[in-house]
Structures are given as structure tokens and as C-alpha cells.
Structure 1
Amino acid sequence: MRRTKDDWTEMALRALAEGGLAAVAIEPLAARAGATKGSVYHHFPNREALLKATVERWEREHTEKVIELVEAGKSPHDKLKTLFGTVLDRTRKGSVEMALQAAADHEVIAPVLRRVTEKRLGYLTELFVRLGFGRDHARKRALIAFSLYLGQVQMQATLPGLVEPVLDEAVQVLTHQAAVAHKV
């Protein structure tokens, strides 16, 4: 079976989610796929190139495509709820997010993680602006929401089953505060 770049980055994403940055290594990935390491090297000159393509794929699938999906929602409240539900659902089988956060100082990971974080915070800020917050307060709400997301991803990994009841209430609290802030 001839594998494509997408096949290898998919396998690398799974390895990253299951075993962290160290698990993204050419020989173990090839062995796991029943292929030779030459099959990987056909598409990527080295591990760093594979890793870069993998995290850029993660960026597209877990940020850009998620934002496109969420934008189909009607109200900012619905969009926020869809956003949280979607991103948390995508982390249930292992967390690429936590593996990348743990490797945030790696030279390949750092610029992508920084770019993704800013894009996500920018998008969340816009949602909170649409909910009626001023830009500065919206940015603070975005930071709170993103922190909540990272905390829930961690809880999902270490304390499964405790995240779902928190999700709806968290979105309610974050959006309800917009209404309260307008009345003050």
C-alpha cells in the first residue's frame, strides 16, 4: 500500500495524541504502519519536516476548519456553545492539544502553537464583541474561555466524565455575563 503525506501526518497526529512529541519518530511510525522508513522519507526529508507538516495539519483541522464550522451557527451564544462542544469532542481520543502544550518550547511546535493561540483568541474575542462586550473586556473573556477550554481538555484526559456537565454551565456563565454587563 502506497501511503500519502496525509496518511503519514494522520498517523503522526495519532502518535502525538497517544504518546506526546517523542512518539512522533520515523522508525516507530513506519513499523506501526507495516512500512519501511523509506516510505516516510519519500515524503519527508527528516523528522522535523514530518512534525511541521503534522502540526500544520492540526492547525488547519482544529482551528481553521472548526471556525468555519462554528460560523454556520446563528447567534454568538450558539457559536460559542458549538465551538466548545466541537473542540472538546475532537479531544476525546487523546489530546494533541495537551501534547503540543507540553512541547510549547520546541522549535517546530512553538511558532504554530503561538499562531493557533492568537487565532483562537482573536476569534473568541470577536464572538464576545458580538455578544456585546467592549473589545478590551471581550479579549479578557476570550482568555477566560480559552483557559477554560485548556482546563477541560486536561480534565477530560485525567478525569473523564466530569467535563460534560461543566460545558453547558460554562457557556451560560460566559454569555450571561454579557447581558449583565449591558445592564450596568
Structure 2
Amino acid sequence: MVMVQRRARAPREDGAKRRLSARDWADAALTVIGEGGLAAVAVEPLATRLGATKGSFYWHFPHREALIEAALARWEEISTEAIITELEHEPDPERRLRRLFAEATAAAADDPLEVSLLATAAHPQVPAALGRVSERRIGYLAQLFTELGFPPDDARRRGLLAYTAYLGHTQLVHAVPRTLPADAERPGYLDSVIATLLRRD
């Protein structure tokens, strides 16, 4: 849920072509997906953006669809697996949950990538990645609620509710941000969300 910053590398100032990795291309593709959806992933504009040639692209990928696949795998890695790994350094599950919500909602406001990917869910390559990421995130949230003492079925329901709250927040922050609390009120709002999720009837 928390996004790692991706930056498309700028051309070298001396004008020389820099050797790009497949990861460079995937990161650049993610950036343009966030800016303009999957339709924005085109080889020539990406090459220009990276200060590279089309030959660099074809060295790493046979076609555009392979780049999209690599970008989706990269999104999976940096926005889910890397975040879960980082959170595991915190031993307290409630602190992990609070940190996850605070950082994820802040990142959602800065990066439209999630919204762009959800908007392109009908694209043949996107549903599988969305499915894997959603299941992993919900599973991790359910794990946190299990560690907090909730029975497995209840923990799973709470994990799903937490994830839908995150997705709803992400959609609103880009579509109608005025519906959400102001920055100064955000910590209290997030505390109330967590309190609702942790409520024991």
C-alpha cells in the first residue's frame, strides 16, 4: 500500500547515452502509467524521457507488452513486497497497522499510479497483477489482525475492510479531495479509522 518513489532517470548532461537496465525502463513505464494510464506507455516517448534509444528498449524487451508486464511486476515488488518487508522490523502489530495506514494514505495523495491501474483493470495484462497485489495486501492485513488477537475469519473480514477503506481513500484523494479531512485533521481521521477496525463488540 505504501509507494516507493520511482524516478525516471534524466539524460546525462554531457549528452552521452547511459546504459539503461530493464528496471530503469520498468520504473519509467510506471511513472507514465501514473501520469496517463497504460496508453501512455510508448517506446519512443519513453526513450526520449530516459535519454535513450529505441535500441536500448529492444535490448531488454521484445515488445511493449513485455515492458508492461515488467512494470506491473515492479509495481508488485515496490508497492507491496518491499513495504511488507520494511514493516516487519516493527514488532508491535498495532504500530505496524497504524504506520501502514499513515504512510499508504500519504503516498496515495502523491502518486496516482494505483488509481490509473484500477482504471485500466479491463486491460488483459492488468487483472492478474491487481489480483495478486490485492490478495497479498489483504492477507497481510488479515495477518496483522490475527496477531492482534482476532479469530482468523474475523481477521480476514477486517483485512478486507481495511483494504477497501484504503482504496476508497485513494480514489477520493484524486477524484474529490475536498471530501477528505484537511491535512491538519488527517491524524485524527486515521485514528478513528483504526479504532473502527480494532473495535471489539
User: TM-score when scaled to structure 1?
Assistant: 0.88
Q: Is the 8 A contact 1:26 1:40 kept in 2?
A: yes
**Structure 1 partner of 2:39:** 22
Post-superposition Cα deviations, 1:1-25, rounded to whole Å, max 9, x if no partner, equal 2211121111111101111111112
Post-superposition Cα deviations, 1:119-151, rounded to whole Å, max 9, x if no partner, equal 111111111111222111111111110000001
* Structure 2 counterpart of 1:97, one-letter code: E
Distance 1:31 1:152 in 2: 34
Q: How does 1:47-126 map to 2 (within 5 A)?
A: 47-126=64-143
Q: How many matched pairs?
A: 178
Q: Look up the SS of the partner of 1:147 in the other structure.
A: helix
Distance 2:173 2:31 in 1: 17
* Structure 1 counterpart of 2:63, one-letter code: N
Q: Look up the SS of the partner of 1:2 in the other structure.
A: coil
Shift of 1:160: 4.2
**Structure 2 partner of 1:167:** 190
* Structure 1 counterpart of 2:88, one-letter code: E
Distance 2:88 2:40 in 1: 34
* Structure 1 counterpart of 2:112, one-letter code: S
Q: Is the 8 A contact 1:27 1:37 kept in 2?
A: yes
Q: Look up the SS of the partner of 1:92 in the other structure.
A: helix
**Structure 1 partner of 2:50:** 33
Percentage identity across paired residues of the two chains? 43
Extract unaligned runs of 5+ from structure 1: none
Shift of 1:82: 1.3
**Larger helix percent:** 1
User: TM-score when scaled to structure 2?
Assistant: 0.81
**Structure 2 partner of 1:130:** 147
Distance 1:157 1:34 in 2: 30
Distance 1:92 1:48 in 2: 28
Distance 2:20 2:109 in 1: 26
Post-superposition Cα deviations, 1:99-123, rounded to whole Å, max 9, x if no partner, equal 1111223222111111111111111
